[in-house]
Amino acid sequence: MKTDSIEIVYQLYINDLYKYLLQLSGSPQTAEDLVQDTFVKAYEKLESYKGERVRAWLFRVAYNTYVDWYRKEKRQVQTDPDLLESMNSQIETSPEEHYLLQLTLANWFKVMNSLPEKSRQVVLFRDYYDLTYQEIADILDLNLTNIKVTLYRARKKIKEVMKNEL
C-alpha cells in the first residue's frame, strides 16, 4: 500500500472500524479515539502490510489497538443497547416493528456481552463484517479450526439464550 492512498483507505473503512470498535468499547468517544489510533498505527506500520486484503489488515490493526487499550483499562466495558438505536435510526419501520427490532437487538447485545471476548470477536467479524474464516484467524492469530469451533459454540449459545428470552 502506498502512503498516498491512505486517505482513500481511510474514507472507505472508517465507518466499519468505528462500528467495530464501538461494539467492543461501548463508548463513542473511546471508539473515536481507537479509530484514530488505528489509522496512526496503520500508517506507521505500512511496511508490515504484505499485500493481503486491506480491510482485514486494518481490522487486525484495530483489534491490536483495542487489546492494547483494554489492557490499560483493566475493566470490562458493556455496550449500551441504546447506541444501536442511534446507529440504525435511518431504518423506516412501523412503531411496532421498530419496538420489536430494538427489543431483539437489545437482547442480542446482552447475549453478546455475556460471551467470552474471543467468541464475541469471532461472531462480530464473521456475522457482522462478513470476513472469511481465514481473515478472522489471521486477525486474531488463531488457527482455522479454533475459529470454526468458537463460532459454532457462540452461535449455539446465542440461539439458546435468544430462544429462551423470546
Q: Is 75 helix (H, G, I), strand (E, B) or coil?
A: coil
Structural fold of domain 94-166: Arc Repressor Mutant, subunit A (1.10.10)
Mean pLDDT of 1-6: 61
pLDDT in tens, 37-91: 998 888 888 777 777 788 888 888 898 898 888 888 755 444 555 555 555 554 5
For the domain 1-77, what is the CATH code? Answer: 1.10.1740.10
Torsion of CA 108, 109, 110, 114, to 10 degrees: 100
Do 124 and 20 meet the contact criterion of CB atoms below 8 Å apart?
A: yes
Predicted confidence (pLDDT) per residue in 84-115, tens digit: 555 555 456 677 877 777 777 777 778 888 88
pLDDT of 129 over the 50 cut:
yes
For the stretch 14-41, pLDDT in tens is 999 998 888 888 888 999 999 999 988 8
Every domain of the chain with CATH number 1.10.10.10 lies at: 94-166
How much is the pLDDT for 144?
94
